[in-house]
Amino acid sequence: MHDLNNLLLNIYEKFKNINDGHLATYIPELAKANSADFGISIVTLEGKTYGAGNCKKNFTLQSVSKPFTYALALEDHGREFIRSKIGVEPTGDAFNSLIELEEQSHRPYNPMINSGAIAASSFIKGKDAIERLQRILDLFGSFAGHPLQVDHQVFLSEKKTAHRNRAIAHLLKHFGVIDADIEESLDLYFQQCSILSNTEDLAMMAATLAGGGIQPITKKQVISRDYIRDLLSLMFTCGMYDSSGEWAYSVGLPAKSGVSGGLLVVVPGKMGIGVYSPLLDSHGHSIRGVKAIEELTHSLNLNVFSAHA
Ligand code: GLU
């Protein structure tokens, strides 16, 4: 496996000079990212780490947080209740669409888009906002293997400008999907999106999912094994928003991307992969990140279906 570092370095070198795409500017703090940053990490189920590029550079999780908060909502309320509130259907609409709430089912299509993720955040148990955030930080930290923190500048930047997410939360309340206080639920959602991580953290979190919920270093079972398949199926079908079908076809692995440029990929039973590069395509995915994952997964033949092809 020591060749993995060479492979990652080659991939890094191959794509580092691609400067297509744009930074996320709708959250003003994210527009300050350094577009040259690019890192890629792998963590195996045994906890071995490989990497190339800026693997220690911190960025905020943004939507990469969504599967993990959904996991906590499942732990808090069970599958039946959560399924009654948030669907499991992919959507062809953008990540921040509110069309399905208004026109169709009146509930979020799935927990990987903003409407479903805001609903999931509203279901997190705790006696007050501080305890709810702490429970999210504790869970995310147990996936990463060390404590994680919120970037308050990014949190405040999103909070001030999130008119569309605020509209989504009001619709969720209007249609009886959420019960909790709207502003508190939104704050928790913005805070989870503003948790700082680097590509090694993403790879470690992904490796924990790849290993049935057992953190590769601490060996702790951080989430019920029973919920892993819920998370991985949803990441497979919905994790890449309105290009999830394209991703399932070209890469064939559960994944979740975020608008800061992070991308987390799970290779079930084998490894976790994390990539970061902030220049985005029109769907909101890291351009270098997607190219790097395509190259890596093709080189190692990692598509979940390739073993049977
Ligand atoms: N916090 C971001 C938002 O709600 C997350 C979106 C994303 O990463 O795709 O707009």
Is 241 among the catalytic positions? yes
pLDDT digits (tens, 9 = 90+) for 96-132: 777 777 777 789 999 999 999 999 999 999 999 999 9
Minimum mean pLDDT range among 92-101, 118-127, 190-199, 283-292: 92-101
92-106, 182-196, 287-301, range with the lowest pLDDT: 92-106
β-strand partners of 274 = 41, 264
pLDDT level of residue 308 (50, 70, 90 thresholds): low
- Going from the Cα of 59 to the center of ligand 1, the distance in angstroms, rounded, reads 13
The rounded Å distance from CA 114 to ligand 1 centre is 7
Protein residue whose Cα sits closest to atom 10 of ligand 1: 96
**pLDDT for the residue numbered 306:** 86
Query: What pLDDT is stored for residue 104 in this prediction?
Result: 72
Task: Please give the pLDDT value at position 97.
Answer: 77
Q: Which of 2-6, 84-88, 137-141, 153-157 shows the lowest mean pLDDT across its residues?
A: 2-6
At 182 the pLDDT is: 96
Cβ of 165 closer than 6 Å to ligand 1, yes or no, is yes
Give which of 206, 228, 231, 226 is closest to 216, Cα–Cα. Answer: 206
Question: Nearest-CA neighbor of 262 among 159, 183, 144?
Answer: 144
Percent of the chain predicted with pLDDT > 90: 91
Average pLDDT over residues 32-57: 97
Q: State the pLDDT at residue 1.
A: 53
Catalytic one among 43, 50, 63, 267?
Answer: 63
The larger pLDDT score, comparing residue 92 to residue 224, is at 224
Residue 63 annotated among the catalytic residues of the structure: yes
